Structure 1
Amino acid sequence: MQIYLNAIFNHFRALQAWAADKDAKLALDVKTFEIEVKFRGRYYTMHPMFQARSDGRAVHSSVLTQSTIGFGGWRPYPSIRHAYSTDKRLFKAFLRESGLSTPASVPSATAVAAPDFDYILKGAIGSFGKEIAGPFRAGSPIPDDIGKEGADREKVFVEAYIHGRILKVWFWGGKPFFAHAHDYPLITGDGVRTAERLVRDKATSGGQDWDKDVDRDIVMACLRFQGVDWHAVLPAGQARWIDYRYSQRYERNLGVTPHTDNALPDLVAKSGDQTDRMGTALAALLRQTIPVPVMISVDGMLDEKGNIWWLEMNTNSIVPPEAYAAMFSDLFY
């Protein structure tokens, strides 16, 4: 993979491109990493976001520290919280009430012994692809140990597993402006290596330490779901997927690229007005508690028929470089 989204020079390029034909002033304060943007008699402070590691977990931070590992962009407000991004079950209820597609679910893992559909288990509160287990085949009992360290079983819900392309769509207010659409990461058999060795080699090539990989349970569940014996040699040419979450953690880093990976035009071509309908519903929801436009991302799955199955929303996602043109078209006009 090539890095576009959180490459800081791509953010500077986007800001420069927006300001190029305008009498606008942008000033970066290196002490705080805030940017002040002045144009048409108005000014806004753009607050930075960074990616960091804390106790082995990925987190967002508003300050540049020794634990910072990446850049997350600027927004005209600091980090915000919303109940529907904090509790995934609330967002799923909102989707159903709004007539938007979301996988079937059971609100608590204690409410059903063995779901009659293929399913995954999710913590209602969690992010960065954590607090998740499975997939499991229909009729499989929910494990006594659901694999969520420290999670309250009452706050773990059952969600139907949907196979497809992994989506994340970004919205400014009610307008979709950027999307990612990723295929599942695969291992491909060579008739020599076991499934375990193929996964280990893929993880190593992507910079992961498989022996310490926190995603081992997910990978092994994916292979079990497909009937793959972990210790058996995978036949030559046979491909099997090893994850279904939004991430490219198993892809080799090929460096930074200035070329956008915005998949929104292709997504709209495949799915019609589904992103616009989500944007309209989101805008109405957010106006109830936040009187101004904000940036939201929504995760989903695109099935083979072009249906988007929406999963969860995030109020503090990494900012795509394309966001600034969308933001400033509202803020200054």
Structure 2
Amino acid sequence: MSYIAITLNHMRSVKAWADAAGADVQMDLRSFALEVKCRNRFYRFHPRFLGQREGRLFHSEMLVEHVTGFIGWLPYTALRTELSSDKLVFKRFATAAGERVPATWPAESPQGDFLLKHSVGSFGDQITGPYRQGATQVRTPPPSLGPGGPTGTPYAEQFIQGRSLKVWYWGDAAFYAHCQAWPTVRGDGVSTLESLAAGRLGVSAEAFALSRDHPLLADSLAFQGLSPAQVLAAGREAWIDFRYGRTYQPEAPSGSSDNQLQDLPAAARASIERMGAAVGGDLMERYHVPVLYAVDGVVDADGQVWWLEMNSNPLMPPDGYDPMFSSLFGSVRQ
């Protein structure tokens, strides 16, 4: 994530394309808008920012209070589609396209190990669990978006273990991916699991116990028959979260791309290509131009992808400027 959210990486990628294409690029520091002229074409690109308010992440198209990072330029403002607004709608779409999705059940009657989710929401906040079917573990309903937020449907989703996957597309073509193993802690025979997790974050166990992530840590440990106050045996490992982006470790700033798309198993890459054809085709019918989107999933032990949800307003990886500009202005090889 540190590579994507570094402003200079975006500037470096835009400059590299502009140098190769002979384009004229101007940025307005007051608005952060980008203007690009090339081959008798002109486009204005809108900035987007990442912020955090009261512990919740948010995206903004303006440099407002609580913004902490820059997440890219696009030739349009925020998009809203049913595929990205409702997770259950996306799952039906992916199933119809022949792709794997976890089973879903009514929240009160799951048929296997499961998470409780809300069909609306983002940033991994409207989730509780995982829970084992039939276990006595206390279940917490998934939180809604709060007063004034969109409404949706609580549901139970089959819990798939594996690696978190996020794939970015421009149009129907994938250009960037992250595939993350779930964060783990290793026992030392002395420290509690809660203190080991807090140590990864660089905070005290007391502070971590009050954080928004602590309930999910407790549920993740309970799924493994453990508890936050338990001392983990020396050498034993336990995973402490399953959501994309939760690494529980500081990330050093980097100017090098961390794109893992080509490192994925062949079966995963084939599924990624099919998903792009399905979603990209649907969006092309709606907008008649290629747009940016990302799709989240889980890669299981067999290298197969189980798709979870779609985001029509994701962060823009710096690697995306070449395919975006090339589709708008023509390939630099022409």
TM range (shorter): over 0.9
Please, which of 231, 234, 237 is the counterpart of residue 235 of structure 2? 237
TM alignment of 1:204-243, pairs within 5 A: 204=202, 209-243=207-241
Q: Give, in whole Å, the separation in 2 of the partners of 1:278 and 1:169.
A: 10
Contact 1:206 1:252 in 2 (8 A): no
**Structure 2: gaps (5+ residues):** none
Distance 1:205 1:46 in 2: 39
Q: Take 1:88 and 1:157, find their aligned partners in 2: how far apart are those partners?
A: 10
Once the two structures are superposed, the pairs formed by residues 264-275 of structure 1 within 5 Å of their partners are 264-267=261-264, 269=266, 271-275=268-272
The answer on 1:311 being equivalent to 2:308 is yes
**In the alignment, does 2:22 pair up with 1:23?**
yes
Unaligned runs of 5+ in 1: none
- How far does residue 157 in structure 1 lie from its aligned partner after superposition? 1.1
Amino acid at match of 2:288: P
1:185-238, Cα deviation, whole Å (9 max, x unpaired): 111100111222222222326999413310111100000000113322100010
Deviation at 1:284?
1.8
- Indicate if the aligned counterparts of 2:126 and 2:145 stay in contact, CA closer than 8 A: no
Partner of 2:51: 52
Aligned equivalent of 1:194, options 192, 195, 200: 192
Q: Supply the AA of the counterpart residue of 1:34.
A: A
C-alpha offsets along residues 92-129 of structure 1, whole Å, 9 cap, x if unaligned? 000111101111112x424x2xx231100111001011
1:5-41 Cα shifts (integer Å, max 9, x gaps): 1101111110111111222101101111000111111
Indicate yes or no: 2:117 matched with 1:122. yes
Q: CA deviation at 1:293?
A: 0.6
CA distance in 2, matches of 1:150, 1:32: 29
Partner of 1:76: 75
Alpha-carbon shift at residue 143 of structure 1 (Å): 5.5
Q: Which residue of 1 aligns with 2:130?
A: 135
Count matched residues.
327
| d(CA) in 2 for partners of 1:45, 1:61 | 17
Give yes or no for contact 1:206–1:249 (8 Å, CA) kept in 2. no
Q: Give distance in 2, aligned partners of 1:141 and 1:164.
A: 24
Pair 259,124 (structure 1): closer, same or farther in 2 beyond 3 Å: same
Percent identity between matched residues is: 38
2:299 corresponds in structure 1 to 302
Task: Work out the CA distance in 2 between the residues paired with 1:142 and 1:173.
Answer: 43
Of the three residues 276, 295, 307, the one matched with 1:279 is 276
Asked if structure 2 preserves the Cα contact closer than 8 Å seen for 1:208 and 1:250, the reply is: no
Cα-Cα RMSD: 2.2
CA distance in 2, matches of 1:174, 1:314: 14
| Mapped contact 2:163–2:299 kept (Cα < 8 A) | yes
Distance change (3 Å), C-alpha of 1:121 and 1:325: same
Normalising by structure 1, we get a TM-score of: 0.92
2:326 matched to which residue of 1?
329
CA distance in 1, matches of 2:324, 2:194: 46
> Could you tell which deviates more after superposition, 59-68 or 224-233?
224-233
Distance, in Å, in 2 between the alignment partners of 1:297 and 1:70 is 19
- The answer to whether the 8 Å contact 2:220/2:241 transfers is yes
Q: Stretches of 4+ moved more than 6 A in 1? A: 150-154
Contact 2:48 2:72 in 1 (8 A): yes
Match of 1:20, SS?
helix
SS at match of 2:202: helix
More deviation in 224-233 or 181-190? Answer: 224-233
How far residue 315 of structure 1 moved from its aligned partner, in angstroms, is 0.7
Q: What is the 5 A alignment of 1:160-179?
A: 160-179=158-177
